[in-house]
Amino acid sequence: MRLVDVHCHLDSPAFERRLHDLLETARSAGVCAWISAAIHPSGWEAVRMLSRCHAGVYHALGVHPWYCSDDSLPLIPSLASQASEAVAIGEIGLDSKRPVFPLERQLSVFSRQLGIARELKLPVILHCRGAFNEMLQLFRKEGAPAGGILHNFSGGPELAKAFMDYGLAFSLGGVLTWRNSARRTLLLKEIYPHSLLLETDAPDIPPVEARGTVNSPANILYNLKAASELLDVPAEEIAAFSTANAGRIFGIAL
């Protein structure tokens, strides 16, 4: 079995000095690739170095809606030249549930990064909470990205369809292990098999089985197990589809 963790933050201080061991543990459990997403220009170099130093680690560059601070704005134009080794632009998006910055600023930062992703024909890794309609509206107005994922997607099957019409897919992680939502199961059924990918968002959102700990890359196995229970499909089959989806969307040879 081979798995790809399409959304994590391996540059987190939580993994300092033990990243190599954590990746080896995940590798022996079947994880063959990771996409580590930066959240602010100050982390772009770190994720680039991680992908140069660790086999199977890829990176995405972007400015996350929680981090579109004044110092990040002048650096956005350089994203185009900085992203030559990146497999995606991300983590970018909109968040009106935790609006660290006003939505107007988020929209302008998001739209500029989306433009760069379209120009470079790179897929995107999207963070979206409470602003799905605003995001869809922006796609309608300015054009959708050339593929990508909404990570930790919290919408239902109807919203999923609207994003799938733009060629987007979805990655789900620790929330699957909550096994608490009939709507999420309907969502899974809607997006499986060709639009479901798996993630950990490590070090955040640990699965129920690892509650209260720093979420580590090998925990993707718990997310896979939960997806298998909810979909009532063998884990090996979900692994095969979600890994193929990751390869196709991010252009990774697996």
Q: Which residues bind Zn ion (CB under 5 A)?
A: 201
Q: What Rg, from alpha-carbon coordinates, does the chain have?
A: 17
Residue of minimal CB distance from Zn ion? 201
Q: Which tokens hold the place of 195?
A: 């639009």
Smaller CB separation from Zn ion, 48 or 151: 151
Helices (H), the chain: 19-28, 44-53, 79-82, 103-120, 132-142, 157-164, 182-191, 220-231, 235-250
Strand ordering across the sheet containing 3-8: 3-8, 31-37, 57-61, 88-95, 124-129, 148-151, 169-172, 196-198
Smaller CB separation from Zn ion, 95 or 201: 201
Spatial separation of the C-alpha atoms in residues 145 and 62, rounded to whole Å: 14
Smaller CB separation from Zn ion, 11 or 201: 201
Q: Least distance from C-beta 236 to Zn ion, angstroms?
A: 27
Spatial separation of the C-alpha atoms in residues 143 and 238, rounded to whole Å: 31
Smaller CB separation from Zn ion, 97 or 121: 97
User: If you count them, how many residues does the chain have?
Assistant: 254
Smaller CB separation from Zn ion, 5 or 201: 201
Distances (CA, A) of 180 to 160, 165, 222: 19, 27, 15
Helices (H), 29-175: 44-53, 79-82, 103-120, 132-142, 157-164
228 contacts 192 by C-beta, under 8 angstroms: no
Smaller CB separation from Zn ion, 23 or 60: 60
Q: Least distance from C-beta 201 to Zn ion, angstroms?
A: 5
